[in-house]
Homo-oligomer: A and B are copies of this chain.
Amino acid sequence: MALSADILRGYTDTIILKRLSLGDSYGYELGKQIGCISQGGLEMKEATLYTAFRRLEGSGLIRSYWGDAQSGARRRYYAVTPEGLERLSRDVENWQETKQLLAKLIEEEPE
């Protein structure tokens, strides 16, 4: 069963930053990669992806450059900036807190 990315709203950017922190990539590939890693569990829609790229680049968290494609369609590659890495590590910390929070709020059987 595929989860909607809406559930992960707020972590789209984090996912992208993380993936890019492991190596530059481009939209199409990143989309496939995410679907693959999550074994179909999360499909990040193209519109979502490209919106996020604009947002992240606008905030200086990633930067982009055109790949020199001898063959195949042109690709716009993205790379994380130092600011992006900082943000990523804060986001991951944040995620730990969020997990614990939700555990308290929806998993626990208290008192």
Question: Which residues of A line the B interface, CB within 8 A?
Answer: 1, 3-4, 6-11, 14-15, 18-19, 22, 34, 37-38, 41-42, 91-92, 94-95, 97-99, 101-102, 104-107, 109-110
Contacts and interface: CB of A to CB of B under 8 A. Distances in A.
Contact of A8 (B22, B37, B102): B102
Closest 4 CB pairs of A and B: A7-B10, A18-B106, A15-B105, A9-B9
Q: In the complex this chain forms, how many copies of it are found?
A: 2
B7 A98 contact: yes
Contact of A101 (B38, B91, B94, B104): B38
Contacts of A14: 106
Nearest to A105: B15
